[in-house]
Chain A
Amino acid sequence: MKLTQLASIAAHPDRVWQVAPHPTLPFLATASADKSSKIISLLNFNTLTTLDGGHKRTVRSVAWKPNTEDEPVLATGSFDYNAGIWRQFEDEATEKKDWQFLVILEGHESEMKRVAWSAGGSFLATCSRDKSVWVWEEMDDDNFETVAVLQDHTQDVKCVAWHPEDVLLASGSYDNNIMLYKEGSDDWVCVKVLEGHESTVWSLEFEPLKSPKYSEERGSRLVSCSDDFTVKIWTRTEQTGLGSGGGQLPSILRGSQPKEEWECTATLPKAHSRSVYSVSWSKVTGRIVSCGGDGKIVVYEEAEDNEWKIVAEVGLAHGAYEINCVAWSTRYDKDKRGENDEIIISSCDDGKVNFWVLDEE
């Protein structure tokens, strides 16, 4: 297959750390070292709004709250230790849409590295160089409470990701480990440590339930990428306890501390020669895309169960620059080919955001 550039925009004057397409609307949010975020239209790739003034340092991460189509809500995480919550609203007088900086979430003791909303949107997870993962719950509109401070990692926590259905949180760290957390009978607890990466875990994503390769019988999967230049797949083999949703468990186990068993089931074919910074798992095709410091974008496909092959690769995808983030997104521009058409969005160190289509050769 072949990756072709569809568009390229100079989104920011400085590094773009992360791009996040809205789950259901034609919006892309960016996180940049210029201390701002932008909302970019996926219909025509024009910048709609700049969200600035909320953070004093680099905006490292952005995440859209699910299920908020009428009034989109965005979370930002910054090196200024704080997270911000922004909401789009319609000015009643002018009927113009604008963005409002609603809440600042303070508590971390050093740079925030990632923010992520749970599938239902009721929890926000944040992580930081202070080695902790915080879970915030929105009690009522714009009122957030800290429900957990998880300090199981021994180093800088680089990333957090929520399971698409269960109340299950994953985090990846500079200590090379991935940790899984669940709400226990009275507190959030680390239920599993996934060891296998030989260096920093930069990014994580669970397999989307809609992916054609998703199998309930096999169980949920998680993809991770690392400074050890590899991309690994982890598969759930067993789970018990709260939030599991599985009815097949003997009643004697219910009410005990939740348990998760996962194992590494695949290491994707080696394609990167420097740190792999980001991975994304397509809900349409089940393909995985990765990017990294070597400037490559690589697409993998699962040929057989847990047997992955590279189907497309672009080098120097942002010229000489390192690529910090890749994400699959629904395609909305005028040339889209049907409702299920997808694009890959990438961002890099010189502030550009590129849009790619994957075609049969």
Chain B
Amino acid sequence: MSSEPANANPTILNLSDLPTRKATTSKPKNTLASATPAYLYDPFAAVPDLDFSGDSEEDDETPEPIDSQEIFDLVATMCDPEHPITLGELAVVNLDHIWITDDDNGLTKTVRLEFTPTITHCHLATVIGLGLVVRLQQSLPPKYRIDVRCREGTHTTDAQLNKQLADKERVLSALENETLMGLVGKMIETCK
């Protein structure tokens, strides 16, 4: 394997274009309202159905559940393993590709995050996936089941990669691997 970066010339998004929650005291519960819609920076993203009607006074109860913007914020500032650029800027992680669903049991929730490697043969896709799992596992309470997957069709071996990322035993065993954890540690270092 060469020491050249797999993708020497990645597309980089402007930081100010990344979705963020405005620093307001009253937190809007509809993240789409505060986030820059994905279609503004991703020409292939579907235009979301922006529906602001109706549900404005439904849920005032506290505490507010973790939403996809918060998940995005946790991972967007992580650094790419081979570029000094964040996963948010590289559009490896996208707000539109994060879903949080309530499980049937009334307690646990499933976070699904689909990431997009910068190029389809990126040999570091496994490390990126693992880094995302570690970051979310360390940041979220145990009631969150974390499903990190490579977005379908964005990597030559995405099915293979996803089976590995779904395998708890392999992920946990990788976390005992010092070399891998060194790489993952560097990715997380840049997080605020």
- What is the total number of residues of chain A having a CB less than 8 Å from a CB of chain B? 30
Nearest-Cβ distance from residue B165 to partner chain A, whole angstroms = 12
Smallest beta-carbon distance A348→chain B, Å = 10
Residues 41-100 of B at the A interface (beta carbon under 8 Å): none
Q: Mark A39-69, 1 if CB is under 8 A from B, else 0.
A: 0000000000000000001101000000000
Per a CB cutoff under 8 Å, which of A57, A275, A350 touches B176? A57
**In the complex, chain B residues whose CB is within 8 Å of the CB of A60:** 169
Cβ-defined partner of B107 (8 Å) among A15, A33, A316:
A316
Chain B residues, Cβ within 8 Å of A57: 176
- CB contacts (< 8 Å) of B107 on chain A: these are 316, 319-320
By the criterion CB–CB under 8 Å, are A58 and B163 in contact?
Answer: no
Is B145's beta carbon under 8 Å from chain A?
A: yes
Q: A156-B170, A316-B105 are in contact. Are A58 and B145 (CB under 8 A)?
A: no
- Hey, which chain A residues are within 8 Å of B166, CB to CB? 227, 275
B15 at the interface (CB under 8 A from A): no
* Contact residues of A between 235 and 259, Cβ < 8 Å to B: none
- Asked if B142 and A350 sit within 8 Å, CB to CB, the answer is yes
- Cβ-defined partner of B173 (8 Å) among A58, A199, A275, A322: A58
Task: Report A337-361 residues with CB < 8 Å from chain B CB.
Answer: 349-350
Is B173 a contact of A111 with CB atoms below 8 Å? yes
| B143 in contact (CB, < 8 A) | yes
Interface size class, chain B: 10 to 19
Q: How far is the CA of A347 from the CA of B68 in the complex (A)?
A: 31
Q: Check A274–B163 contact: CB distance below 8 A.
A: no
Quick check: B105 and A294 within 8 Å, CB to CB?
yes
| A33/B108 in contact, CB under 8 A | no
Interfacial chain B residues near A322, Cβ < 8 Å: 145, 168
Identity of the chain B residue whose Cβ is nearest the Cβ of A315 in the assembled complex:
B105
With a CB–CB cut-off of 8 A, which chain A residues contact B172? 15, 33, 58
Let me know if B145 and A293 touch, CB within 8 A.
yes
Complex partner residue of B167 from A15, A58, A174, A315, CB under 8 angstroms? A174
B141 lies within 8 A of chain A by Cβ = yes
CB-CB nearest in chain B for A58: B176
Q: B189 contacts the other chain (Cβ, under 8 Å)?
A: no
Does A163 touch B at the CB level, under 8 Å?
no
> When chains A and B are docked, how far (Å) is the Cα of A356 from the Cα of B172?
28
- 89-122 of chain B: CB within 8 A of chain A: 103-105, 107-108
Selected contact of A79 from candidates B104, B145, B173, CB within 8 Å: B173
Chain A residues engaging chain B, CB cutoff 8 angstroms? 15, 33, 57-58, 60, 79, 111, 113, 129, 156, 158, 174, 199-200, 227, 273-275, 293-296, 315-316, 319-322, 349-350
Q: List 19 A-B pairs, Cβ < 8 Å.
A: A15-B172, A57-B176, A58-B173, A129-B170, A156-B167, A158-B169, A174-B163, A174-B167, A199-B163, A200-B167, A227-B166, A273-B103, A274-B145, A294-B105, A294-B108, A316-B105, A316-B108, A319-B107, A320-B107
